[in-house]
Each structure stands twice: as C-alpha cells, then as structure tokens.
Amino acid sequence: MYRVIFAAGARPNFMKVAPVLLEIRRYRSIKSYLVHTGQHYDKNLSKIFFNDLNLPVPHFSLGIGSGTHGTQGARVMMEFEKIVQRHDPHAVVVVGDVNSTLGCALAAVKTRCMNARYRPLIAHIEAGLRSHDWRMPEEYNRRLTDAVSDMLFTTEPTARKNLMREGINPQNIYFVGNVMIDSLKRSLKRAQESRVLSRLKLQEKSYAILTLHRPTNVDERQRLRNLLAVLKKITRILPIVFPVHPRTRKMLVEHNPEHKFLTTVPPQGYLDFLKLMMHARFVLTDSGGIQEETTVLRIPCLTLRENTERPITVTKGTNILVGADRERIMDAVGRIMEGKVKKGTIPKFWDGRAAQRICKALHNRLVSSW
C-alpha cells in the first residue's frame, strides 16, 4: 500500500486538489491523506469550500493561520515535518504557489535529506508557471517548489519550456492539463442552482465582477486610488460586484479611499462565485485562477496586472492584460460593451480529465520506484 499525502492550505488549493483526491480513490494500492495547513483559516468559508467541492474532512489540520511570509513558511515546515516523519509517505503532493506549497515541499525534501529512511517523492501540481515578476512572493514559491520536486505536473506548454530553461530533467515533467478546470466542469450544474443572483438582486449580463488582492494593487495607496477612480467610471456603465478579500478589506480600512460606489459583498463560496462569473458581462481581476476559469467559461477577463504567469489565457483565452492604466481599462470595457469581445479557445487538456492523468502518472512512478 502506497501512502500519499496531499497538502493544501488556501482556497485556490482546494479547487486543485479536490478532483485529484476523488480520482486517487480508484487506485486500491494507494492510501491518500489530506493535510489542511490552515493558511486560509476562516472556518466558515473553509467549510463552505469543502462542502462545495465535496472534499473529505482533512486527516490533519495544522492551524497555521496568518502571519508574515517567513512566519507562515516556518510554521508550515515545522508542523508538516512532523506529519512526514510520523507517517513516512511514499509521496507528498503539493498544489499551486502559496506559502503552504513551498513550506510543505521543503519540509518533505529536507526530511528525506536528513534521514535516508524517509522516502517521499515530491510532486507539484501546476508546475512551471512563471510571471517573471520578482515583486510577487508567489514567483519565489513557484520556482523553489519546482526546484525540489521530483514530478512536475504542468497545465500548458510554456510551463515545460520554463522548467527546461531552469535545468529540470524533462523526464520529470508531465503535461497533464489544468486540474482547476476539472473542478469547474464538475461543478457547473450545481453552480447553476445557486441563488446568489437573486440574493444580490442581479440580472444576467447586467453586472461586472471585481476581485482584488495582490499586494502591488492593494498595498500601494496611490495605485489603489487610481484603480478605484477608473472603477468608478465603469460603474456609470454597469454595477461592479466586489467580493472583498480579507487582505483587501484591511487595506481599504487603512487607506480609506472612496469605494462606496462598488457593490461590496463578503467572500463567496465556490459555487456562488462560479455562478456570478458564469453570468457576468465581464470580470476584472488580479487573480491567477480566475484568468483560467473565465477562459473556459468564455467570459471576457480584464487582468489588472502588467504580467501573468498564465500566458495561454492571453494568447488563446479571453484574458486581456490592462494593468492599472485607465485608458487601457476603459478601452477594453468599451469594446466589450459594444459586443467586440475576445472569443478565445480552450487550451489543450483543459477538458476535465487532468486529475486522471495526474493519478495515472503518480501511480506509475510509485510502482517503478518501489
């Protein structure tokens, strides 16, 4: 029996790990465990996400909570190391690019280095994505996690090129597609049943959605004010629904800019937010995963950044990089309102079967290694 530990700690991680946990049950020779690091620690919202995604109750909850990047990383490493030493897994699977991703990968590989009896392979789901923007803490998490991983599961062809440039053995790179889309496709029918539109008194295609949480957008007072100024102009055309991330709410209180023109709501569960996206006229975001989801939903996406680690959403999808430039944003909004939308196509392997490819590759590697 092969023991495999899956580690997740933030809401986007749950979306990526859920279909893999479901698929791995088909392999009777594999016993899987879920570790929730608690990096995103809102109990109510975590419970909603687990219910929406049909995730099992975690076998282990580390309760890391908030803190600086160094503090979070250190706590994750200390607590996850105990799990690895106690249960001696054959593989540790990490997802995404948050602090928990890197902390768990480092704890696993260092445990292996310190004592030869510990053996976990480290597998990274969503490997090889690069923004080339060193102001983003996620860029460090991505690169360092990939550097210590034995299996690197990629979502798009450019990821392989990035990994090859960084000296990763090509035999360890697996192009499997986008597991986020597995969750999306599995959830579409249930999301349609959500009553979030009636609760918020919204009509289909009569509103836009905004998500904003990147430090470069919300921590810098002037940039945040500039963004809000252009968002105010957009609300003269149609309302903007703004689920406010806890980090962003903190900055709005600290910087105290005018933002009452936005329809602010609490962070939404997965199914409710998916319903909101499905019926929005367009989405404004600085999130990575939303760029992917809107591409598959064929919803126009305006990314409030100068770069993206998901370039395929621009070259093939519905994503447009507009940064914080008022003219670029308003020009893109104007074109959408005129019906001149970017149609886009769905990238290869974004087909709802990425988890199948991941689990098959993981099983084969475990069998060949032991």
- According to the model, what pLDDT value does residue 224 have? 92
Helix (H, G, I), strand (E, B) or coil at 65: coil
* Pair 288, 225 in one domain: yes
Say if 257 falls within a structural domain. Answer: yes
* Pair 195, 157 in one domain: no
This model's pTM is above 0.85: yes
* Pair 333, 217 in one domain: yes
**Each residue's pLDDT tens digit in the chain (370 positions)?**
999 999 998 888 999 999 999 999 999 999 999 999 987 666 656 778 889 999 989 999 998 877 888 888 899 999 999 999 999 999 999 999 999 999 999 999 998 887 766 679 999 999 999 999 999 999 999 999 999 999 999 999 999 999 999 999 999 999 999 999 999 999 999 999 999 999 999 999 999 999 999 989 999 889 999 999 999 999 999 999 999 988 888 888 888 888 999 999 999 999 999 999 999 999 999 999 999 999 999 999 999 999 999 999 999 999 999 999 999 999 999 999 999 988 899 999 999 999 999 999 999 999 999 8
- According to the model, what pLDDT value does residue 254 have? 87
Say if 34 falls within a structural domain. Answer: yes
Say if 342 falls within a structural domain. Answer: no
Say if 131 falls within a structural domain. Answer: yes
- According to the model, what pLDDT value does residue 276 have? 98
Say if 97 falls within a structural domain. Answer: yes
The burial of 195, by beta-carbon neighbours within 10 Å (0-12 exposed, 13-18 middle, 19 or more buried), is given as: exposed
* Pair 167, 302 in one domain: no
**Which residues constitute the domain of residue 203?**
187-337
| Catalytic residue from among 59, 69, 87, 213 | 213
- According to the model, what pLDDT value does residue 44 have? 57
Say if 67 falls within a structural domain. Answer: yes
- According to the model, what pLDDT value does residue 364 have? 98
* Pair 193, 142 in one domain: no
* Pair 221, 320 in one domain: yes
What is the spatial distance between Cα 53 and Cα 55, in angstroms, rounded to a whole number?
5
* Pair 120, 13 in one domain: yes
* Pair 38, 150 in one domain: yes
Q: State the DSSP string of 201-269.
A: T--TTS-EEE----HHHHTSHHHHHHHHHHHHHHTTTS-EEEEPPHHHHHHHHHH----TTSEEEPPPP
* Pair 225, 246 in one domain: yes
- Backbone phi, psi, residue 210, to 5°: -125, 135
Say if 343 falls within a structural domain. Answer: no
What CATH number is given to the structural domain containing 310? 3.40.50.2000
* Pair 168, 20 in one domain: yes
CA torsion sign, 264 to 270 to 281 to 224? positive
Say if 345 falls within a structural domain. Answer: no
- According to the model, what pLDDT value does residue 250 have? 87
Determine whether 213 is an active site residue: yes
**Edge-to-edge strands of the sheet including 240-243?**
263-265, 240-243, 208-210, 282-285, 301-303, 319-321
Distance of CA 133 to the CA centre of its chain: 17
* Pair 112, 214 in one domain: no
Structural domains of the chain, count: 2
* Pair 191, 324 in one domain: yes
